[in-house]
Amino acid sequence: MNAFDLVVTVALGSTLATVLLSKDVALAEGLLAFALLISLQFAVTWSSVRARWVRKLATGEPLMLLYSGKFLPAALMQARVNEDEVRAAVRSAGIDSLENVHAVILETDGSFSVVKPGGSGSTLVGVNGSPNSAAARAKNQRKNMRKSAP
């Protein structure tokens, strides 16, 4: 469940409570509000599968918080996460040292993923702040172009 799903769920609950408890709200109005919220949820979900910018707006992107045992301070501030929360995620994964962690990612649903070293890194593609992200690849290409320029 992402943030948008949570908002719609809370709105549906609030609408149901209002319809059931308020004498001022007609049943037809309540049903219309329900239909509108469900239609909005369907439209956003349908659009997010088909358009990257809608998906990015509705769900966000995963964010790398730790890479090769080192914290990424800018990412921690952006995500409003502190180092203790990342350490707790590493402990939950059964790892006793940050040096034994390839990466910690804050997923779009708010959970932490802990990636152990030894793989190809293919699961890090598309993670914001990853060396495999499009921004990092573009930065490396610009850097290599400057080195090769006379």
Residue 141's domain is classified under what CATH number?
3.30.240.20
Mark whether 97 and 140 lie in a shared domain.
yes
* CA distance linking residue 148 with residue 114, whole number of Å: 37
52, 76: one domain? no
If asked whether residues 55 and 67 sit together in one domain, one would say no
On whether both 43 and 99 belong to a single domain, the answer is no
Pair 121, 139 in one domain: yes
Q: Residue 137: its pLDDT value, please?
A: 47
**Per-residue confidence (pLDDT) for residue 57, from 0 to 100:** 82
Q: Which amino acid is at 24?
A: D
- Overall number of domains in the chain: 2
Is the domain of 121 the same as that of 52?
no
Does 83 lie in the same domain as 52? no
Residue 79 and residue 141 in one domain: yes
Same domain assignment for residues 69 and 9? no
Q: How far apart are CA 1 and CA 58, in angstroms?
A: 11
Q: How far apart are the first and last CA of the chain?
A: 52
Q: Which two tokens stand for residue 145?
A: 């172009």
* C-alpha–C-alpha distance, residues 19 and 32, integer Å: 11
CA nearest neighbour of 104 among 63, 60, 140: 63
- Choosing from 43, 59, 75, the residue where a domain stops is 59
Q: Give helix then strand counts, H and E, for the chain.
A: 6, 4
| Contact partners, residue 121, CB within 8 Å, separation at least 6 | 102, 130, 131, 132
> Which of 23, 38, 59 marks a domain boundary?
59
Q: Give the residue ranges of the chain where pLDDT is below 50.
A: 137, 140-141
Task: Give the per-residue pLDDT at 98.
Answer: 92
CB 143 within 8 Å of CB 137: no
88 and 108 together in one domain: yes
**33 lies in the same domain as 86:** no
pLDDT at 146: 56
Structural domain boundaries enclosing 17: 3-59
Which tokens belong to 68?
A: 């090769």
Q: Are 51 and 36 in contact (CB under 8 A)?
A: no
Both 105 and 35 in one domain: the answer is: no
